[in-house]
Structure 1
Amino acid sequence: MRGTSQRWAYPALIGVLGLGLGISGAPSPLYGIYAGEWDFAPVTTTVVFAAYALAALVSVLVSGSISDRYGRRPLLLTAVAGLLLGLVVFMLAGSVAALVVARVIHGLSVGTIVVVGSAALLDLRPDDGAATGRRTGVTFNVGIGITVLATAVDAEYGPAPLVVPYAALAVLSGLALLAIVLMRETHDVDPTIALHVARPRVPAAIAPDFAFAALGVMAAWSVLGVFLSLYPTIASVAVGTDNLVFGGAVVGGSALAAAASQVVAGNRDTRRSAIVGDIGTAASLGLCVLAVHVGDAWFLAICSILLGFFFGLAFGSSLRHLGQVLPAGHRGEVMSAFYVLAYGALALPTIAAGIAATRWGVDTIFAPFMGCVALACVVAGVLGFRVKGLQQDA
């Protein structure tokens, strides 16, 4: 394979993946500032967030075939340049429309980085797929956790909270762009490959496994959407603080706990781990509702960390379980269906929560929304008992 002589390329790509996912969560602790300065409702926050998810979905469905035909490197160069462009738009933003534009650019860029970067990693180490999957899962959550927390600290204690955090990320993005420029192509391009949108379809033979994995991930990503858009403000209001670091720490700690769960799950049975993650997520959601009601900062932080751990377990194990049962000839179709549902769950319930919060208030809709998601998690866990578990290879 063309890029295997560059040993640094593999960890560099891992770093680019972590940076991309980190940038996707960077605005999370800043939405409260935007809402306060521009006086917009919760639904506006969730629409801005959903713009990212929908753009990422489009990118996920088309970037794979483009990179197969033209190579990984041109797509990654374009995507990292998109990260830089989106950060510049954020720094210059003076309206909600600019935020939406920045989020769309980042959605397209991060979706491409996830798909094409993961493919490039497999190009470099084709016999190390399981370990690469675990590493990228950890990297995704570590990237989000560190970036959200660092952004909150920078915005709270540094100058120009709506500019400096993005500028710091732009510097890192510039280094990532340089790494991709220096990196050799990892894929033997094939100009005869037809460009296409991945077609969503699930073979009947794996329908129960797909329902189990997809419902668990949809429930988990519904939580993720609210966590990255509304939860920092919800948590801060609950404990009576306007310090951005608290909201950032709650979300960042949850993401880091999700990364830890990916390590703990390791080579454990994916079905059992996913069931534990689904049920644990449901229970943790109830505890988060109680913590918000009580308003104790430490209790809320602990509950958020627990939620992150079980969320990570549910998401990672569900995805790995699905990977074990995928027929070789249907991988693109099934993963297309999976991502359509996952990103739909990231965007649509978040918008619904924003509309309800605007009409009835965040305090009023928080518990019912979390209750609905918890019920979906329980249903996913029950479905897990109806499918056959497979022991993941080491």
Structure 2
Amino acid sequence: MTTTGTTAPRTGRTPVRAMWLAAWPVTAIFVLSNTATPLYVLWQNRIGFSKGMLTVIFAGYIVGLLGSLLVCGVVSDRSGRRSVLLPALGLALLACLIFATATGVVALLVARVCTGVAVGAAVSAGMAAVTDVAGPQRKSQAALLASCAMVFGAGAGPLLSGIVSETLPAPTVTVFVVEAVLLVTAAVAVLRLPLDRPVPAATGAWVRVPRVPAGRGRELALGIAVFAPGITATSFVLSLGPALLAGLLGVTSRIPAGAMAFGMFLTATAVQFAVRRLRRPLVMIASTLATTASTATLIAAVRTETVAWLVAAALLAGAGQGLGQLGGLSLLNTTVPVDRLAEANAALNTGGYLPAGLLPVIAGYLGDATGLATATTIFGAVVAAAAVLGALAVAASRATVAQV
């Protein structure tokens, strides 16, 4: 008998193997999320647009993602993970086609919006699918694997793009051909997943602001308080990092920009494995400390025009996002019923991606008006303040966080 939101691995596939299989679509979609990052300098030179417009193009992804989160979590919980993931992979393939043939800002915006919609499906349905196939005894492992699949994919994209675009012909085409192949393999993985169609138990509108069950709002708020500053810091590095390297620091090769982004997300992946045995309050507070340190080194980088400081800022930002993401996901995984888990994941990411989309855009246009150094300083101060408030919130709720 199928129960709401649960799955049982079919014969021949263990829960551990199924978990890894379920994580691959999340990774493949997140590879696309940042594949374009090192290529913006090429498009900027070819098409011509300001740093402010660059951050708007980047934020088109956030718009698509947030719109997706209004729908995908609820639909996934009621209709099944596969019914959300397969269309999302199709949309990701369409984004690859648009990127590969883009000749103007509008095309780049449309491709970014499509990418955001696909990512919204991945962070809601895809990450919930990892938990589904893991079973109730492996919830902590599932949260760790799903979170690492997300950040590793996000980092692999720019590294792949940087290397391919520097070493192979037709850089803005070849990169997305390679990514399209990855997405096709992810679609095959989704078709093979041992996912049963759930029996819907939830009621209410299908399109709504994602939320958690009554009584779990505090856990959601704490998760957002540590996740949002970290992902906002990494979003800034992704959107304006190549411009900082090229404009302030004189680095024009696309490989360093891709490698820096990869290092940032590799750090986000590695740090989650390193702290997996620590108590949750320590993990969450460590996230805020790493994010605060990241903003300080970012300001130092632009003030001293030092590449080493910028790389350090990126790595610390990755640690902040990884730790905050793990803390928030594990809170929800252990407190939210499985038939509401995709929507809860969507709610966490909505709270994180809103500032991650808005603040870098503001910083981009402020950089056009006042200079990138001034804009980065203001951005860093705002994110650091948010991180400190997150740390205080976790400390005040330490007993609650540790109990769940």
Q: TM-score when scaled to structure 2?
A: 0.87
1:98 to 93, 107, 110: 107
Does the 8 A contact of 1:324 with 1:392 survive in 2? no
Q: Note the C-alpha offset of 1:101.
A: 0.9
Number of aligned positions between the proteins = 392
1:28 to 32, 37, 41: 37
C-alpha distance in 2, partners of 1:257/1:290?
A: 20
C-alpha distance in 2, partners of 1:290/1:192?
A: 52
Does the 8 A contact of 1:271 with 1:318 survive in 2? no
1:171 lines up with 2:181 in the alignment = yes
1:5 to 7, 11, 23: 11
Task: Quote the residue 1:301 is aligned against.
Answer: 311
1:64 lines up with 2:69 in the alignment = no
C-alpha change, 1:231 and 1:340, in structure 2 (3 Å) is same
C-alpha distance in 1, partners of 2:254/2:266?
A: 18
Instruction: Give the aligned residue type for 2:10.
Output: T
Moved more, 140-149 or 311-320: 311-320
C-alpha distance in 2, partners of 1:328/1:102?
A: 32
Instruction: Give the aligned residue type for 1:378.
Output: V
1:107 to 106, 112, 116: 116
C-alpha distance in 1, partners of 2:206/2:299?
A: 44
C-alpha distance in 2, partners of 1:180/1:330?
A: 20
Q: Note the C-alpha offset of 1:392.
A: 7.3
C-alpha change, 1:245 and 1:185, in structure 2 (3 Å) is same
Task: Quote the residue 2:289 is aligned against.
Answer: 279
Q: How does 1:95-244 map onto structure 2 within 5 Å?
A: 95-127=104-136, 128-181=138-191, 183=192, 186-190=195-199, 196-200=206-210, 209-244=219-254
Instruction: Give the aligned residue type for 2:110.
Output: V
C-alpha distance in 1, partners of 2:237/2:340?
A: 33
Moved more, 17-26 or 72-81: 72-81
Superposition CA RMSD, Å: 2.7
Q: Note the C-alpha offset of 1:210.
A: 4.4
- For structure 1, list consecutive stretches of 5 or more residues without a partner in the other structure: none
Q: The residue matched to 2:183 in structure 1 has which SS?
A: helix
Q: TM-score when scaled to structure 1?
A: 0.89
Task: Quote the residue 1:291 is aligned against.
Answer: 301
- For structure 2, list consecutive stretches of 5 or more residues without a partner in the other structure: 1-6
Does the 8 A contact of 2:89 with 2:118 survive in 1? yes
Task: Quote the residue 2:58 is aligned against.
Answer: 49
1:252 lines up with 2:252 in the alignment = no
Q: How does 1:70-89 map onto structure 2 within 5 Å?
A: 70-89=79-98
Instruction: Give the aligned residue type for 1:95.
Output: G
Q: Note the C-alpha offset of 1:331.
A: 6.4
Q: The residue matched to 2:398 in structure 1 has which SS?
A: coil
**Identity among equivalent pairs (%):** 27
C-alpha distance in 2, partners of 1:170/1:332?
A: 25
Q: How does 1:363-382 map onto structure 2 within 5 Å?
A: 363-382=373-392
Moved more, 237-246 or 312-321: 312-321
Q: The residue matched to 2:360 in structure 1 has which SS?
A: helix
